[in-house]
């Protein structure tokens, strides 16, 4: 297939890479299920019971396509964010929306700037449309907005990708730093601000940005705090003109009505969101305590996961990770140095974290032996 002449030259040039191997694929390979699923930053606490009821209520209507305008969900999101429905585009998770955004702005040879080792799905889309990635290093385990904007200026980039809070390190910037980054977006460029975890961060991390600023698009998701990763619902907030461009290329019937109903009910259950925030905060504390008890260093996190510094290099962290996976604990780790000295543990319920606490000492001992 690699050299199939029917493929476009661009596709023939791409590696057959998968940004993330899913836990189910790992389970099939190992021939048994994991004991704890702590690698994909899903919400193990589940969605709001009201969202589950909405899914059940929508199920008999599954013969109908979803509303191609996601009207009710967009209206509710607009009320929630104090903007107009025209400022919101609903789509198939941030991952899908990033793909559409890259398709809108990146043609062969165009430059997009990101951070080395940041959330890789953006790079995957840029490669898929023939763009060129320019990456700048993290500074002290944080994505570095000043460096990102400087590189964008030097290279004439069209897109700059910044995640706040960050995945895989869980670190974050305050609202003032993000506002400064928006003001520093070079002419001709657009900032993609990925806020997948923002509902789990301190309020001080979330800037009030004018919705009619054409320099920035904000990406949100129902996959993390709202616990609906499998429903595939995300949205972009931005200036109405930029948002309207998506209608030229988007998959108009890509949203399932079951997912639309689930997201609407989840948004309306802010009490559940508050409950999740405290569950996640408690889980972060517990993961940090388990790390410390094992002589490792947890990195402060504003997300639903904690990166744990294993105190050595990437090869050592990989051994710890392999030991955990072999013991039935699904976790992941950053891809590149120096962040790859860490393993990354998703917030879990007490029983999930008990399993992690039980298995970490053995995984560490084995990693130190070899
Ligand atoms: C930074 C970041 N952006 C986007 C996503 C994916 O979001 P979605 O499920 O909405 O596609 C993730 C998931 O891990 C993430 O960490």
Domain assignment present for residue 197? The answer is yes
pLDDT score at 19: 72
What is the reported pLDDT for 303? 98
How far is Cα 347 from Cα 141, in angstroms, rounded to an integer? 20
Considering the domain architecture, whether residues 143 and 230 belong to the same structural domain is answered as: yes
Residue at which a domain ends, from 233, 252, 269:
269
User: What are phi and psi for residue 101, nearest 5 degrees?
Assistant: -65, -45
Residue 232: is its pLDDT beyond 80? yes
Asked whether the beta carbons of 340 and 368 are under 8 A apart, the reply is no
Q: Cα(98) to centroid of ligand 1, in Å?
A: 10
Is the per-residue pLDDT at 17 higher than 80?
no
Residue 226 reports pLDDT greater than 90: yes
**pLDDT 10s digits, 327-339:** 999 999 999 999 9
For 350-362, how does the pLDDT look when each residue is reduced to its tens digit (9 = 90+)?
A: 999 999 999 999 9
**Which of 224, 230, 331 is the pocket-test mutation for ligand 1 (most atoms within 8 Å of CB)?**
224
Assigned domain for 155 exists: yes
Question: What is the predicted pLDDT for the residue at 15?
Answer: 87
Question: pLDDT, tens digit, for every residue of 236-278?
Answer: 999 999 999 999 999 999 999 999 999 999 999 999 999 999 9
128 in the same domain as 72: yes
- Reading the block at residue 52, the tokens are 């589950």
pLDDT confidence band for 151 (50 / 70 / 90): very high
Whether residue 247 sits in one domain with residue 320: no
Last residue of one domain, picked from the residues 222, 240, 269: 269
- Based on the domain organization, do 74 and 174 belong to the same domain? yes
Is the residue at 199 inside a domain? yes
Give residue 1's pLDDT.
Answer: 58
pLDDT higher than threshold 80 for residue 70: yes
DSSP-assigned states of every residue in 14-83: S----S---HHHHHHHHTS--SEE-SS---TT-S-HHHHHHHHHHGGGTTSPPPTT-HHHHHHHHHHHTS
Report if residue 1 sits inside a domain. Answer: no
Domain shared by 153 and 258, yes or no: yes
Name the residue of 200, 220, 221 whose CB sits within 8 Å of the most ligand 1 atoms, as the mutation to test its pocket. 221
**pLDDT of 369 strictly over 70:** yes
DSSP assignments along 259-308, one per residue:
HHHHHHHHHH-HHHHHHHHHHHHHHHHHHHHHHHHTT-EEPP-SSSEEEE
pLDDT at 146 over 80: yes
279 and 342 housed in the same domain = yes
Residues 251 and 301 in one domain: no
pLDDT band at 2 (very low <50, low <70, confident <90, very high): low
Tell me whether residue 4 is in a domain. Answer: no
Please tell me the chain's helix, strand, coil percentages from 3-state DSSP, rounded to the nearest 5: 45, 15, 40
In a domain, 359, yes or no: yes
pTM over 0.95: yes
Residues ≥6 apart with Cβ < 8 Å to 216? 182, 185, 190, 191, 192, 193, 209, 238
Find, among 116, 154, 84, the residue nearest to 336 by Cα.
116
Question: Mean pLDDT across the stretch 331-349?
Answer: 97
Question: Taking residues 142-153, what's their average pLDDT?
Answer: 98
- Predicted local confidence at residue 245, as pLDDT: 98
Does residue 164 share a domain with residue 38?
Answer: no
**What is the domain count for the chain?**
2
Its sign, for the CA torsion 271, 275, 278, 284, is: negative
Shortest-distance atom of ligand 1 to CA 223:
9
Q: Are residues 261 and 275 in the same domain?
A: no
Phi then psi dihedrals of residue 356, to 5 deg? -60, -45
Summarised one tens digit per residue, pLDDT across range 96-116 is: 999 999 999 999 999 999 999
Specify the pLDDT at position 370: 66
Percent of the chain with pLDDT strictly greater than 70: 99
In sequence order, what are the beta bridge partners of 221?
Answer: 234
Q: Are residues 236 and 304 in the same domain?
A: no
| Residues 25, 94 share a domain | no
Q: Are residues 72 and 186 in the same domain?
A: yes
In a domain? residue 87? yes
Q: Which of 208, 234, 269 is where one domain is finished?
A: 269
Q: Residue 83: CB partners within 8 Å, gap ≥ 6?
A: 211, 237
Q: What is the CATH number of the domain that holds 69?
A: 3.40.640.10
Other residues' Cβ atoms within 10 Å of the Cβ of residue 135: 16
Mean pLDDT calculated for residue range 288-307: 98
Which one of 19, 47, 98, 119 would you pick to mutate in the ligand 1 pocket, going by the greatest count of ligand atoms within 8 A of its CB? Answer: 119
pLDDT band for position 227 (cuts 50, 70, 90) = very high
CATH number (domain holding residue 26): 3.90.1150.10
Q: Considering only CA atoms, which residue is closest to atom 10 of ligand 1?
A: 93
**Distance of alpha carbon 308 from its chain centroid, rounded?**
18
The answer to whether residue 311 sits within a structural domain is yes
Residue 185 has pLDDT above 80, yes or no: yes
Among residues 9, 35, 39, the alpha carbon closest in space to that of 21 is found at 39
Give me the domain span that covers residue 282: 9-46+271-368
Average pLDDT over residues 291-320: 98
Instruction: Judge whether 158 and 188 are in contact, CB under 8 Å.
Output: yes
Q: What is the model's pLDDT at position 131? A: 98
Average pLDDT over the chain, rounded to an integer:
97
């Amino acid at each position: 297939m690699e050299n199939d002449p029917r493929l476009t030259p661009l596709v023939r040039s791409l590696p057959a890479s998968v940004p993330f191997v899913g836990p189910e694929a790992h389970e099939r390979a190992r021939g048994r299920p994991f004991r704890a699923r702590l690698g994909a930053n899903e919400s193990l606490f589940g969605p709001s019971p009201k969202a589950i009821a909405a899914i059940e209520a929508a199920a008999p209507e599954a013969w109908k396509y979803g509303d191609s305008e996601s009207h009710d969900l967009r209206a509710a999101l607009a009320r929630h964010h104090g903007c107009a429905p025209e400022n919101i585009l609903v789509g198939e998770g941030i991952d899908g929306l990033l793909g559409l955004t890259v398709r809108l702005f990146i043609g062969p040879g165009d430059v997009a700037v990101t951070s080395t080792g940041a959330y890789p799905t953006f790079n995957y889309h840029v490669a898929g449309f023939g763009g060129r990635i320019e990456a700048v290093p993290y500074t002290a385990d944080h994505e570095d907005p000043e460096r990102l904007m400087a590189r964008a200026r030097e290279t004439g980039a069209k897109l700059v990708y910044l995640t706040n809070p960050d995945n895989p390190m869980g670190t974050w910037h305050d609202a003032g730093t993000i506002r400064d980054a928006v003001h520093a977006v070079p002419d001709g460029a657009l900032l993609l601000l990925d806020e997948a975890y923002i509902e789990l961060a301190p309020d001080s991390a979330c800037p009030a940005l004018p919705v009619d600023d054409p320099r920035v698009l904000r990406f949100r998701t129902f996959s993390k705090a709202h616990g609906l990763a499998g429903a595939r619902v995300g949205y972009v907030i931005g200036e109405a003109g930029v948002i309207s461009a998506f209608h030229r290329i988007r998959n108009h019937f890509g949203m399932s009505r079951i997912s639309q109903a689930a997201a609407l009910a989840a948004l309306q259950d802010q009490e559940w969101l508050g409950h999740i925030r405290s569950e996640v905060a408690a889980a972060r504390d517990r993961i940090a305590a388990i790390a410390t008890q094992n002589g490792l260093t947890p990195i402060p996190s504003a997300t639903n996961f904690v990166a744990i510094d294993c105190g050595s290099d990437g090869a050592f962290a990989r051994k710890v990770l392999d030991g955990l996976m072999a013991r039935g604990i699904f976790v992941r780790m950053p891809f590149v140095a120096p962040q790859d000295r860490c393993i990354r543990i998703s917030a879990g319920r007490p029983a999930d974290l008990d399993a992690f606490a039980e298995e970490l000492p053995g995984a560490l001992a084995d990693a130190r032996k070899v």
